Amino acid sequence: MLKKFRKKKKALLAGIALSTVVFGAVGTYAAQDGAFGSNLVGRQADGSVQTPVNQLITPAGKQIEFGGNPMSVAVNPNGKTAVTVVGRNNYGGKGINVVDLATGKMTVSDFDLGLSHMWGLAYSKDGSQLYATGSSGSTGKVVVMSIAADGTPTIKQKYNLPNAKVGGNINPLDLAVGPQGQLLVALNRDNSLGVMDPQTGKLTAKIPVENAPTSVLVDGNTAYVTNQGGRIAKSGDTTIDSSGSQVVVDPKTGATTTGTVSVVDLTTNTVTKNIEVGVQPERMTQSGQYIFVTNTNSDTVSVIDTKTNNVVQTIDVQPYPNAHKGAAPNAVKMIGNQLMVSLGRDNAVAVYDWNGPEKDPELKGLIPTAWFPVDLAIDSANKQLIVANGDGVGSLGPTRDLTIQGVKVTGHSAYAQMGSLSMIPFPSTNDLVKGTKQVYANNNWFGLKDLNAKPRNNKKPVAMPERIGEPSTIKHVFYIIKENRTYDQVLGDLGKGNGEPALVQFPKQVTPNFHKLAETYPNLDNFYVSGIQSASGHQWVMQGTNVDYEDKETDTANVRSYPGGAGDPMAYAPTGHLWDQAIKHGVSVENFGEDTTDFTGSAPFGTWTDWYNDSLILAGQKQGNLHVPIGNYQVKYDIPSLGPITHKTFPTFDMDIPDQYRFEIFKKQFEEHVKNDDLPQLNTLWVTNDHTNGSATGSPTPQAMVADNDLAVGKIVDLISHSKYWKDSVIFVTEDDSQNGLDHVDGHREPAYVISPYVKKEITNSHYWTVINMVRSIEQILGMQPMNQNDAAAEPMSELFTNKPDFTPYTFVPNQIPLNTLNGQPNANTAALANTQQITPQAQELSKQWTEWSNKNKDKMSGRGASPDKVNANMLNHSVWYATKGFDKPYPGENNVLTPEEVEKQPESSAPSPANN
C-alpha cells in the first residue's frame, strides 16, 4: 500500500504530507521538552488524559465514560441505541451499558449480567433480542435478553456451555446470528464454532475449526471464523502450549507465526476451507463480496474474496511511513468506500480509501480515540462511527479515601478502570487533517526522525548516546524486575518528592535500601508501570509493548491463560523481548529468573526456612549442608531463546524462596564473571518477594518479605558497585506492575531506580517516565534498535545522566527487622498484630481469620503451584494492609476492618483465579 503512497507527489491531507507531519523539522523532538513534560498520569487541565504507556489521549467526538473495560459494541438494527459490554465485573463495571444514539446519553448503566467475565454481543435481526457471551466462575455462558423499545434489556435465559475438550472453561468469545436465527459462538478454548438454539439453549453442533477461534462473520449460509492461534501444527513446526492447544511459533522468540480464517458451510456444519491470513487475526467486516480481516500481530488487513475464498489483497497498516510493527489493528468497518481500521496500540482509527483489491488503498488520515480501541460499529442514521475503548481513560474510577489525623487522603488503584465509548461523526478531510496531527502528538511521533536518527561516526563516548549506535561509556546494563508496589507504599515517607505518608506500608525501617537509593541516586517520583497485573506487566517491561491478545485477556479475567511473564506464546510480541533484540544485535545477555515458568528438582522442596538457611550457608553466616544442592533445582521456560541465556539455578517466582537465596545464586555467578572477565552486556533479574505471601503461617510477615527484597536489591547494587564493572555499569530497577497497593497520584505509579556512576546524585526528577522509557534507555546505551512503535517513540532517560562520573560505591544497609519474622499460628498472631494499637478480642479474631485466608491460598503464591496473581489482588491487598497498618485501621475507602468473607463480597474480589482451567 505505502509503495504507491510514497510515489505519489500530490499532497496528502489537504497539503500536509504524512512524512512531513511525522518527521518534521530538525529539532522538533528536542523543542517539545519531551513529549509529555512533567504530566502526572490522569486527567489534564485541558481535558486530555495522560496514560501510563507514553501516550496522551484526546479522543474525537462525544465521549461516554463508564466503569470497566468494554470489549464489544453493537448497534441495534432499529438504529436507535448502541450497547456495550464490559470485560469483567471487578474492574469498575458489571455488564451492559446502553446509549441513545440520537442524544448521546447513556440510558442504561451497569446492567448486571451476573457474569464474572464477558466478551461478545449480537442482536437478533429484528433487534428484539440481544445475546452476550461470558462466564460465571469457570462455566462458559450465553445470555439471552429481550430488548424494549427504548433499548433496555431484560434477561430471559442464561445457558451453560460444556467444558472445553481440553477441560475447563470453554471461553466463549464473539458470536453472530446465523441465517436460521441460530447463534454461532466462537468457543475459544475448544477450537470450535458452537451452534446454539437461542430458544432452548441446546448446543446442536460444535464444528472443529483451528486454534483459538475469536470472531465470527456470517455471509448467507457461510460463516467465517478467525483463528487467532493460527493453523493446526504440521510435522516440523515448533509449537508451544497455549491453554491446552499446541500453536505454531517462531523457533526463537516463541511468538505465534500463523493466523487463519475457517470457512464454515452452515447447511452441513462443516469447514470447507481454512484460509491463511496474517498473525493473530481478530475482527472482520464485509463489503459486497469482500471480507476484511484485521491481523493484530502482522499490522495488516487481509481481504478475502467470498467468491473464491482466497486472499486477494493484504493491506499494510502503517500509520506513518516505515513504521515499526505494533499498531495492533483489531477491528474494521466500511463507510462507503472508506475503510476504518481501529489501531489498538495507537489509540486511533486509520481511514483508507478502498476502491477494490486491484488498487492500493490510500491512507487518508487518522482519528484519535481514547485508550486502546477494541471494537467499531456504524450508526448510519446519525452518521457516526462508534468506538469502544477498552482502557478508556485509565484508572480514573472510584477512589479510596482515608482520613488520617483529620486530613483526607485519596488513594488510587490500578483496578479502578474507566472505559469509554466514542461517538465520532463521519470524518471530513479537514477532520482527518486535524486528527492526524493530534494522533502524532499523542503518540510522540513528531520528530521521530531525530529520535531514531542514524548514528554518526567518530563520536566521543558519553553515558547516554544521543543516537542509538553511538558509543556509550556504559558497557553493562542490569535490569531488575520486582513485584507489585506503588510509590506511596514504599517512598511516601521519603521526605522529598511527591509522596503521601498516610499510604506508606513499608517505611524506611522496612526498606532502608530503597530509601537510601532514592536519596543517593535520582528520586523518580513521576514514574509509571504500564501493566495492571503480572500477565501484562511483564510483557511491558520486557517487550516495551503488550499485544492485543494479552491486553484483552487482562480485561476479561485471563480465562484462557495467565502468562505472569511467560506461559502463553500468544502473549509474546512478534517483535520479541529485550533479550531477543540483544541477541539480534550481537549484545551478550544473561537472564536470572525473568519469564521462567517453574523451578523443579528431585530433592524435597522444603520450607521457606529451609531455603533461608541455605542462603545463610551460602553467605558463610551458618555452617551445614544445603537442604537442596545447587543444580538439583532448575528453572523451566517455554520461550526457546531463553534457554541458552538463562542461569538455570536462579529461582522463578515462588514466595517460599527468599530473595536472599536469589542474591547468593546471582553473586556466585557474578563473581565467576568477574574472575573470567566475561560479564554479559545485558543482565536481567527477577527479584520477586516484595509481592509477599500475606499472613500465611510459616511465611515471613509482609514487612519481612519486603525487607528481604529490599536487602537483596541493596546487596546486588553493593556487589556490582564494589566490582571492577562498576566503572561502566548502570542498574535499572522497576516493578512489573503496582497493583498491590494505593497511590495518591495514580495506581500505576511505582518506585523505580536508575543507579550508576553516570547518573546525577541526590536529585528529585519529576519528569514523566514509564517502563517504556526504561526499555528505550537500555536500547540506547547498548546500541539496540527499537523493537516496536512504543519504544521507537519513547525518549531515553537522558536527563538523568552525567558525563562526570562519581565512582563512589554503594554500601547496602542491613535489614532493620529480622527477615525470619514469621507469621504465627492462627490463635497466636503476635507478628500479624504487631501494628495494631488496640489489641481487642475483635482484632485478634480478625487477625486469625485473615491468617486462615492466607493459609488457604498459600499454595497459589508458593510451591509448585505458585504464579503471580493467582490470589485475587483485592483480597491480598486487604490482608497486607491490615498486617502492615493494624487490624484496627480500615482499608482506605471503608469504614470498618473487614473479615475475608466480607471482602470476598466486594466486586473487586469476584473474578475467578486467572486461567483456573
CA–CA gap between residue 212 and residue 200 (Å, rounded)? 26
| Chain Cα centroid distance, residue 113 | 26
Q: Which residue range is the domain that position 594 belongs to?
A: 477-800
Q: Cell match 495522560: residue?
A: 50
The Cα-based distances of 441 to 55, 61, 431, 481 in angstroms read: 9, 18, 15, 30
Q: Which of 640, 648, 562 is nearest to 867 (CA)?
A: 562
DSSP for 161-216, please give it: PPPPTTSS---EEEEEE-TTS-EEEEETTTTEEEEE-TTT--EEEEEE-SEEEEEE
Secondary structure class of 793 (helix, strand, coil): coil
Question: Looking at residue 890, what DSSP letter applies?
Answer: P
Enumerate long-range contacts of 196-201, CB under 8 Å, 24 or more apart. Answer: 196/142, 196/159, 198/124, 198/129, 198/131, 198/142, 198/144, 201/142, 201/144, 201/157, 201/159, 201/160
Half-sphere exposure of 43 (CA within 13 A, CB side): 9
Half-sphere exposure of 538 (CA within 13 A, CB side): 27
Secondary structure class of 51 (helix, strand, coil): coil
Residue 555 lies in a domain: yes
Q: Determine contact, residues 342/378, Cβ cutoff 8 Å.
A: no
The CATH number assigned to the domain holding 764 equals 3.40.720.10
Residue 771 lies in a domain: yes
What confidence score (pLDDT) does residue 29 get? 29
Question: Grid coordinates standing for 356?
Answer: 477494490
Residue 490 lies in a domain: yes
Between strands 310-316 and 300-305, the pairing is antiparallel
Residue 433 lies in a domain: no
Residue 773 lies in a domain: yes
Q: Determine contact, residues 191/210, Cβ cutoff 8 Å.
A: yes
| Chain Cα centroid distance, residue 109 | 27
Mean pLDDT of the chain: 92
The Cα-based distances of 893 to 409, 584, 721, 843, 883 in angstroms read: 10, 49, 43, 19, 17
Q: Which residues contact 460 (CB under 8 A, 6 or more apart)?
A: 471
What confidence score (pLDDT) does residue 9 get? 31
Residue 664 lies in a domain: yes
What's the domain count of the chain?
A: 1
Q: Which residues contact 249 (CB under 8 A, 6 or more apart)?
A: 238, 239, 240, 255, 256, 257, 569, 572, 640
Q: Determine contact, residues 535/915, Cβ cutoff 8 Å.
A: no
**Partners of 647 in the β-ladder:** none
Q: Which of 140, 271, 280 is nearest to 208 (CA)?
A: 271
Residue 183 lies in a domain: no
The parts of the chain modelled with pLDDT lower than 50 are 1-32, 827-828
CA–CA gap between residue 575 and residue 571 (Å, rounded)? 12
Q: What is the helix (H) or strand (E) element at residue 448, kind and residue range? A: helix 448-451
Q: Which of 507, 424, 472, 915 is nearest to 710 (CA)?
A: 507
Secondary structure class of 20 (helix, strand, coil): helix
Q: Determine contact, residues 857/901, Cβ cutoff 8 Å.
A: no
Residue 640 lies in a domain: yes
Q: Which of 271, 352, 262 is nearest to 313 (CA)?
A: 352
pTM of the model: 0.94
Backbone angles phi and psi of 698, in degrees to 5: 90, -10
Question: Grid coordinates standing for 105?
Answer: 446519553
CA–CA gap between residue 400 and residue 92 (Å, rounded)? 13
What confidence score (pLDDT) does residue 218 get? 98
CA–CA gap between residue 786 and residue 906 (Å, rounded)? 42
Q: Which of 99, 29, 793, 123 is nearest to 447 (CA)?
A: 29
Secondary structure class of 723 (helix, strand, coil): coil
Write out pLDDT tens, residues 81-90: 999 999 998 8
What confidence score (pLDDT) does residue 420 get? 97
CA–CA gap between residue 583 and residue 575 (Å, rounded)? 13
| Chain Cα centroid distance, residue 7 | 38
